[in-house]
Amino acid sequence: MRILVTGGAGFIGSHVAEALLAAGHEVRVLDALLPAVHRGTPYLPAEIDFRVGDVRDPAAVADALRSVDAVSHQAAMVGLGLDLDDAPDYVGCNDLGTAVLLAAMARAEVGRLVLAGSMVVYGEGHYTCGEHGRVVPGPRPAADLESGRFEPRCPGCGQDLTPGQVAEEAAPDPRNVYAATKLAQEHLAGAWARTVGGTATSLRYHNVYGPRMPRDTPYSGVASIFRSALEAGRAPRVFEDGGQRRDFVHVADIARANVAALGRDGAGLRAYNVGTGRPRTVGQMAAALADAHGGPEPVVTGQFRLGDVRHITASPARLQDELGWRAEVPFEAGMAEFATAPLR
C-alpha cells in the first residue's frame, strides 16, 4: 500500500513511518515541523516522500493524499499542557486537523485510517471496592493529596480500591483538554467511517518511550522528563509516593501495532488499547532508568499535580486476540536502552 503518515517526522510518527517502510509499504510523510518539538531537519530515511505541511491546511492535505491507499494519523499536540491558554491549539491541531484530514480523505476516496488514540480517554480507569464492586472514582480531592493520601477512594464508602485493567468498552471519562480532543478525534473518525463505509482503527497508546523522544518540555511525558534530568546530572523527581501505575510501552512496539492495525478488516471504528499489560509504578520506572544511567538516584517528593490520575492501566487483550500484536520489548531492556538513547 501507499500510506500517508501525518506527523511522520515526530517521535512516534517517525518510528511508524520506518516500520511501514520495513513492512514493504510506500510511505509519504506530511509534517508541519511545529517548533515546539522540532529543530532543524528531521531524520527520515531517503525512501520516504517527505512533505512539510499542516493537517489543518486543506490544500496541503489534499495534495499529500494523492494516490494514497491508507492514512496513519499521528500528527497531534500531546501532553497535559500548561493551562487553558493551550486549549485552542489542542483543539486546532487534534480536532480541526482530524476533521480537515477526514473531509479530504472522503473527497479522495481513501477508505482506511489508523488513528493515534490515547489511554487518556479513560480518565481514572477501572477499580474494584471490596464492598461495592466495580466503581469509577471521581477526581482525587486536593485535601487528600495534601495530606499524602494518594489512592482514590470508593465513591460509596471511602475505602481503598484495587485498580484493574480497563477494556475498550469502558465508558470514556476525559478529564482535561488534551483527553477531550483525543476522544473527539475518535468520534470524528467514527462518523467518517460510517459515512463513507471506511475502516477506522484507533490505537489507544499507553505511556510511550524510546529513542528520539523529545526532551522535557511542559508537554513531555514522565519518561522524557526523568531521562532529561539524568542527562543533566539531576535526580529524577518522583511525584506523590511513586506508587502510581502506568504501562510504559516502547515506541518500536507502538510502531508494530500501527503496521498490524493498517491490515485490519471490517468497516467502522474499532479501538484497541496498546500497552504491555504489565504496568509498573512511576517509582519503579525512575529507579530502572537511574540505575541504567548510573545515577543520580531518584527522589520521591510527595508533590502532586491536581489533574493527574493515580493509575492508568488497560488490557491489551483485544489487540492481541484480534490483530495478533504483542509487546516485544521487555521493560528492563527498553529502559536500559532509553537511559542512553538519543533524545530530540
Residues forming contacts to ligand UD1 in the complex (CB under 6 A) are: 78-80, 118-120, 178, 205-207, 221-222, 225, 237-240, 244, 246, 282, 305, 308, 312
Q: Is residue 109 packed enough to be buried (19+ CB in 10 Å), middle (13-18) or exposed (0-12)?
A: exposed
Nearer to ligand UD1, 8 or 79 (CB): 79
Work out how close the CB of 208 gets to ligand UD1 at its nearest, in angstroms, rounded to a whole number. Answer: 8
Give the Cβ contact number of residue 171 at 10 Å.
9
Work out how close the CB of 294 gets to ligand UD1 at its nearest, in angstroms, rounded to a whole number. Answer: 20
Q: Which residues pair with 238 in a beta bridge?
A: 300
Give yes or no: 178 in active site: yes
Work out how close the CB of 194 gets to ligand UD1 at its nearest, in angstroms, rounded to a whole number. Answer: 25
Instruction: Report yes or no: 74 and 5 within 8 Å, Cβ to Cβ.
Output: yes
Nearer to ligand UD1, 76 or 101 (CB): 76
Nearer to ligand UD1, 45 or 141 (CB): 141
Question: How far apart are the C-alpha atoms of 182 and 174, rounded to whole Å?
Answer: 9
Nearer to ligand UD1, 53 or 242 (CB): 242
Looking at 90, 122, 127, 178, which residue is catalytic? 178
**What is the separation, in whole angstroms, between the first and last Cα of the chain?**
30
Angle (nearest 5°) at CA 239 between 333 and 86: 95
Work out how close the CB of 104 gets to ligand UD1 at its nearest, in angstroms, rounded to a whole number. Answer: 26
Residue 84 per-residue DSSP state: G
Query: What does the longest C-alpha to C-alpha distance in the chain come to?
Result: 60
Q: Which residues pair with 135 in a beta bridge?
A: 127
Nearer to ligand UD1, 112 or 227 (CB): 227
Work out how close the CB of 103 gets to ligand UD1 at its nearest, in angstroms, rounded to a whole number. Answer: 25
Instruction: Name the nearest CA neighbour of 13 among 176, 208, 193.
Output: 208
Catalytic sites, residue numbers? 178
